A and B are shown apart, each in its own frame.
Chain A
Amino acid sequence: MPSLDDLRKRITSVKSTQKITKAMKMVAAAKLRKAQENAEKGRPYSEKMNNVILNLSKSITDKENAPKLLVGTGEEKVHLCIVLTADRGLCGGFNTNIIKKAKSYFEKIISENKTLKIITVGSKGYDQLKRQYKSYIVENISFKESKNINYFDADKVGKIIIEKFEKNEFDVCAIFYNKFKNVITQIPQEQQIVPLNEDKDDKDVSGNDNDYEFEPDEDEILSNLLPKNISTQIFKAMLENSASEQGSRMTAMDNATRNAGELVDRLTIEYNRSRQAAITKELIEIISGAESL
C-alpha cells in the first residue's frame, strides 16, 4: 500500500506527462493542417507528370530501345528498397507500420534468393532496420536539418537512385511510405518506381490521341523526364508521409492524454480513499482511547 505522499507524487508526475502529451497533440494538429495543405498542393504536379509519361509511353512503339528506367533492365535480380520514415518517434504505429510492410517484402526477396539493397530515409527507419538488416543497408539519409519538406531534398534522393541505376546496381526499385487517408488511418504503401509500373486500369486510355508533336523526339524527352519522375514520386511520398506522421502523432498523443486522465482519476480516488482511511483510523483510535478511560 503506497503512502499518501507516494500517491501525491505519482499524481503530479502523471499530470505533467499529460500536459506534455496534450501540448504535443496541439502542435501535431497545427502541423497536420499545414502538411495536409502541402500534400494537396503538391498533387497537381505529380498527376500531370504521370499523365505526360503515360501519353509518352503510349506513343513509344519501339519497346526494345525504350529507356531502361521505363521498361526495366529485363532482369529482376537486385532489388533496391527505399524506406521512408520519420525522424522522430512518439507517433504511434507510424514508423512500425512502414517497417512491418517493408520487412515482409524483404523476407520475400531474400527467400527468392535475390539480392536486397536498402536505403533508409529518416533516422527512425534506420534505427529499426539496422538490427536485422544492417548488412543490406547501403545508404542512410536523414533530413533532420530541413524544417520543411522541400523538393530539393527529394531530388537528392532521386539523384542517388539514378546514379545507382546508371551503374547497374539494381534492377527493381520500390519505395515504402505511409499514404495519408485521414487523421486516424494511414496506409503503409509499397510502390514500384523502377521500372515504372503502368497502372493497367488507370483510367481508360483516352482515345487514340497519339497525335502529339514531340520536340525533340520521344526517347529524348523520356530520358529527360523519367529521372525527374523519380524525384517527383519520392517527393510525393515524403509529403504523404509527413501528413501521415502528424496525423498519427495527433491520434497517439490524444490517446495518451486520455489515458493519463484516466490514470489521474484512478490515482485520485485511491489517494482520497487512503486519506479517508487514515482519518477514520485516527478517529477510531481517539474514540476507543476515550472509551477505555
Chain B
Amino acid sequence: MRNPLSETIVNIKPSGIRKFFDIVSEMKDAISLGVGEPDFDTPWHIRDEGIYSLEKGKTFYTSNSGLLELRQEISNYLMRRIHTSYDPKKQCIITVGGSEGIDIALRAMLDPGDEVLIPQPSYVSYEPCTILAGGKPVIINLKAENEFRLTPEEILDACTEKTKVLVLPFPNNPTGAIMEREDLEKIAKVIEEKDLFVISDEIYSELSYKDQHVSIVEMPGMKERTILINGFSKAYAMTGWRLGYACGPEEIISQMTKIHQFCIMCAPTTSQYAAIEALKNGDDDVAKMRDAYNQRRRFLMNAFKEMGLECFEPYGAFYVFPCIKEFGMTSDEFATRLLKEEKVAVVPGTAFGDCGEGFLRISYAYSIDNLKVALSRISNFIERLRSEK
C-alpha cells in the first residue's frame, strides 16, 4: 500500500503543551496552572439565551457569514470599544472560534512561498496554519528586555521581498505582553512602508489591565490592511461554544467567506444567539471577570517578588511568564521536575517558540485558593533548587 499521508502534515510537529497534562491527569493531588481557558462558567443570562433559542426551535443553519443581527452587534461593539466602524454586511464573518479566523485569513491571503512574520513566544497555531496555507513562516524572536513587545526594527530585520503578512498576537499568550498606543504607532509606519498585511489576533482584548485595549486598526491606514480576529471564548468565558469573528476589508473577508462556506458552512446557531445576548448585555460580566483576573495577577506578581523570581509585569491575557534562567535548567527540565517533585504543572516557555527558553507560562485562570497552594509548592521548589547550588 502507498503511504496514505501528506508529507506536509506529517512534518508538522504536535503542540508541546500536551505532554505535561497527560502526566497531570494521572497524578493524584497534582495542581495544574497550565490551562488556557477561563475558570468561570458562561454568565447565566447568556446560557439562558442559548437554551431559549433551542426551545424556540432555532436549530437551522444560519447564513454563511453568520446571523446578521450578531454581525450588527459586533459592529456596534467594535465601535464602542475600539472606535472603528465595520460594515456588518460586508466586512464581518462569524467563525468557529478565533482559531478558524486565523486559518482562513492565512489561506485567503497566501500564495506558495509568501512569507508570514510570526512574533514568538506566541500561540502555537500560527506557524502550522501558515505552512498548511502554503506560506513560509518567518519567526521574530521577541525579547524579554522589551517586555516581549514587537518593535519596528524587529519587523524590518525580518522582512524580505516575499514578506506579505504580519501576525500580531497581542495581548499575548503566553507572555501576557500588550502593545500600547505608542508601540502600535511605531510599527504601523513600518507596516505601511513595507506594504504588509496584518492578522491581528485580539482574542484577549478584554483582558487588558493597564488602560483599555488599543487595536492596530485604530492607527491611520491600518484598517485597510488588517484582518481583526476576536471571539467570545476569553472575554465571556464561552470557550465551549466555539465562536469567534473576523473583520476586515471586504476584498479579503469575501474570500475568507468562500473558504468558510466550503469547509464549515456556518458557525453553530445556538452559540450565535447566545453571543448576541453577550454583546448586548454582557459588559458588566466582562468587567467582573477582568477584576477577578487582575486581582490574581497582582497576587501572583507579589508572590514572585517575595520569592525573588524574576518576572516582568504583564498587563494582558491571564498568563504570567517568569524567568527561570537563574537555575541553570531548561524550561522543560524545570517544568518536569516541578511536576514530579511538587506536583505543580506549568507549561515550559519553549512550547510557544524557541525563544521561550528560560521561561514558564503560568496561567491564572484559577481561583486564588488554588493559586495559593500552587505558589507555596513553587516556593518550596525554588528554595530547594537554590540550596542545591
A binds B: no
Residues of A within 8 A of B (CB): none
**Residues of B with Cβ closer than 8 Å to A?**
none
